Structure 1
Amino acid sequence: MMPVPLSDPAHRAALSALARTLAATAVERDRAGGTAKAERDAIRRSGLLGLAVPTDHGGAGERWPAILGAVRELARVDSSLAHLFAFQHLMVASVLLYGNPAQREALLTATAREPLFWGNALNPLDRRTALTPRADGGWILDGTKSFCSGARDSDRLLVSADDPSGTLRVLALPTARAGIAVLDDWDNMGQRQTDSGTVTFTGVAVDADDVLGPPGPFGDPASSLRPCLAQSILASLYLGIAEGALAAARDFTLTESRPWRASGAAAAAEDPYVLRHYGDFHVAIAGAEALGDRALDRLQAAWERGRALTPGERGEAAVAIATFKAAGSRAALDVTSRLFEVTGARATASRHGFDRFWRNARTHSLHDPLDYKLKELGAWTLTGALPEPGFYS
């Protein structure tokens, strides 16, 4: 089944064109790593950065199943740029969920108008950033953040930092503000063009209005939907990677693979073991897709409840999303690691770049341990306990 389409035909056309642009150079860019400046600019020109911005702020006001369907479509060809595209909408959602009305008006209107490309320096596990109060009610920010996806070449950053009481605050800052340095130090085996490296903050002036809230993070059940959206993004990326790997393997099997001599088959596509593997791939992806449809419907329903969302409704959405994430992660790792069993030795040539699917899935699936998702799901299955809201659940 295809992902839920964007509602605007112009946006659907722009998404298809962007996917073709990314696909044309994905293998070479994966090999090169670094910042995909030309491709980021193509995303800027696409008109798709404002999909999650409400219409009354000048955006498209798209629903989450359609936005995450677009993420999934891009992830089939380039999961690094799909990651950055997805996190743009996560940052927009963070402003919607954490910010006060004046902040939402200023930041989201500017996002749609300019448009602004957001980067992420909100890593709740990295508590090396701290706020020191100023006499005028503002703050000074110092410290370091790791895993800052999309920070390079961004216009705005979402940053987390502890105030003197130990309370985690979320800030919305211009990336070019004095004292902010985005380092070019991301060199991991997968997701090589997500620029998920380090950002340092040295004596950065933070005005009171730069601190999002109220409600801020976890100020109410609605604000705790951000982790549900983040987990839905991860699962959508995994499903897109699995689908991209399957499409690449299928094309290779049909056009270039040779049958094993003991099979008795005239073509690789007639080999019974090859067919069995493809059957496994279909079951894994179809299962993740069905769970994804259910999870994203629950996410959208919770989102539409707004500030009236109850803890129980939030928890039920979190269970559905965690289930989708577990299935999506498993499907991606299985299909991307086994695709060579249906394509053969010729498929390992570096020019094909088929290894990138597994490297990307393996790198991204370590975002937070799947074991802890399964533990939460086990507790819900056994006792009915809903997941506690946190930055990873």
Structure 2
Amino acid sequence: MTLAVNARQKDETKEKVLNDGTLKKDTFNQHGIAFSGNPQQVTQQLVAYLAKTAVERDAAGGTPYEQRQAVRDSGLLKLLIPQTYGGLGGNWQEIYTIIRQIARVDSSIAQVFAFQFLMLTSIRLYANDTQWQHYYRLTASHNLWWGNALNPLDNRTIARKISGGYEFTGQKSFCSGSMDSDYMIVSAIEENTGKFLVAAVPTQRKGIHLKGDWDNIGQRQTDSGSAEFEQLLVEDGELLIDPGPLSSSFASLRSLVAQLIFTNIYIGIAEGALEEGVKYTSSNSRVWSGSLAQTIHQDPFTLLHYGEFWAGLHASAILADHAATLLDQAWEKDLSLDEKTRGELALAVFSAKVNATKSGLDVTTRIFEVAGARATTAKLRMDRYWRNLRVYTLHDPVDYKLKDLGDWALNGNYPTPSFYA
């Protein structure tokens, strides 16, 4: 397997096109943070930096090159990689806690940051030992960022067998984090056989065209647009098919890692909305004329709403933390992971996701009821929490998670492993 690193790392003064069409020379050291301390301390420094421009960047959309570079410089991209291979050796509880903290201030960065670990998970679960150890060492030593073009529902990319590998040709949608990445996880359907193929390839390779066409109402800086592959060469050694997707209970953990990523980002977004609402209510909201309270902090209906918000989010967080604990235990079992343990984890993850979706949408929608009419000012962009959560919660229907939970409650059946369950 050939070593390939994003050309941006070779030229640190590369010009980039900004959203207004102008050019800017990026030194990729403009955030001015001398990251230090353990991962939690570094996260606090990163969160403070991201919060400074989150509102403006939500309005601008596009690729947050400077902020992505700050994440690179933080060293957190190798959090999942064991220390044996040059990483930080973090566990899933730690990773999800950090993802949630970032999501409170910048859920777009939280998503592409979290997908780093989903892509590394794909490599770990689908590849043979030689492959995943190679990519883990490569990622840790070169601080690589991974983008996503693995979309099981989008079968428009076809793989044609050639000598020494395949050619991938077609389109992919929802390629989150692909812009400004070094490597990508891509998928295709093999012609004639219909086999689902997954591979790891350098983003700069000829035949990959990233469209940069993501312009949705929420998660506006996730670069979740489309990609086109034109006779993209994929070497045999880059295919992650040994043992491959869904080949065992352990390999099927990818979907649960993903679902718990979504869950923690949902919670983080809602916690950010609640924190913003508290700040605004405390400093700007007024007691309604019909209230008997002297201050907004004593108004019974304001307290009631905040109580509902807190109860919902607190319960969701506890469920998510419990699921993360079970995931760490399942992850340690490796190929010895059995169906029952995997099934119990799936139930915990789905329960957390359902509750996080409902409580999160409740908070981000109703926070204006306690903040008041002035909180709807465009300058504050407090609506970004609802927009981000609404877009992200549509990733896959929560109704199907409820169906799986109902099948367990009524019939005792664990969720059937798939790319989404």
Q: What TM-score bracket applies, with the shorter chain setting the length? A: over 0.9
1:116 aligns with 2:122: no
Find 1:149's aligned residue among 132, 155, 176. Answer: 176
Counterpart-to-counterpart distance in 2, 1:137 and 1:154: 25
> How far, CA to CA, are the matches of 1:285 and 1:145 in structure 2?
34
Map Cα deviations across residues 324-359 of structure 1 (whole Å, 9 max, x no partner): 000111111000000000000110011111100000
- Per-residue CA deviation, residues 296-337 of structure 1 (Å, 9 max, x unaligned), is 111111111101001111111011000000011111100000
- TM-score in terms of structure 1 length: 0.97
Match of 1:291 in 2: 319
What is the letter of the counterpart of residue 147 of structure 1? F
Aligned counterpart, 1:224: 252
Matched, 1:276 2:267: no
Count of residues in Structure 1 that have an aligned counterpart in Structure 2 = 385
Query: In the alignment, residue 107 of structure 1 is paired with which amino acid?
Result: Y
Partner of 1:372, secondary structure, is: helix
Select which of 154, 157, 161 maps to 1:129. 157
State the match for 2:339 in structure 1. 311
User: What CA deviation, in whole Å up to 9, does each residue of 1:60-97 have, x standing for no partner?
Assistant: 11110110100000000010000011000111111111
Q: What is the rounded CA distance, in whole Å, between the counterparts of 2:158 and 2:357 in structure 1?
A: 34
List structure 1 segments (4+ residues) > 6 angstroms apart after TM superposition.
none
> What's 1:4 paired with?
none
Question: Alpha carbon RMSD of aligned pairs, Å?
Answer: 1.0
Aligned twin of 1:387 = 415
Question: What is aligned with 2:45?
Answer: 17
Q: Percent identity of the aligned residues?
A: 46
186, 193, 196: which one pairs with 1:159? 186
Q: Give 3-state SS (helix, strand or coil) of 2:87's partner.
A: coil
Three-state SS of the structure 2 residue aligned to 1:49 is helix
Q: Distance in 2 between matches of 1:267 and 1:193?
A: 39
Aligned residue identity for 1:360? N
How far the C-alpha of 1:213 sits from its partner, in A, is 2.9
Which amino acid counterpart does residue 173 of structure 1 have in structure 2? V
Amino acid at match of 2:67: E
Secondary structure at the counterpart of residue 321 of structure 2: helix
Q: Which consecutive residues of structure 2, in runs of 5 or more, have no partner in the other structure?
A: 1-35
State the SS of the aligned residue for 1:132. Answer: strand
Correspondence for 2:126? 98
Provide the secondary structure at the position in 1 that maps to 2:105. Answer: coil
Cross-structure match for 1:79: 107
Determine helix, strand or coil for the equivalent of 1:144. strand
Per the alignment, residue 205 of structure 1 pairs with: 233
| Structure-1 residue corresponding to 2:4 | none
Is 2:78 aligned against 1:50? yes
TM norm structure 2: 0.90
Cα deviation, residue 9, structure 1: 4.4
CA displacement, residues 162-204 of structure 1 (integer Å, 9 cap, x when unaligned): 1121111111010000010111100000000000000100011
Aligned letter for 1:372? Y
Alignment partner of 1:341 is 2:372 = no
Q: Which of 232, 243, 246 pairs up with 2:274?
A: 246
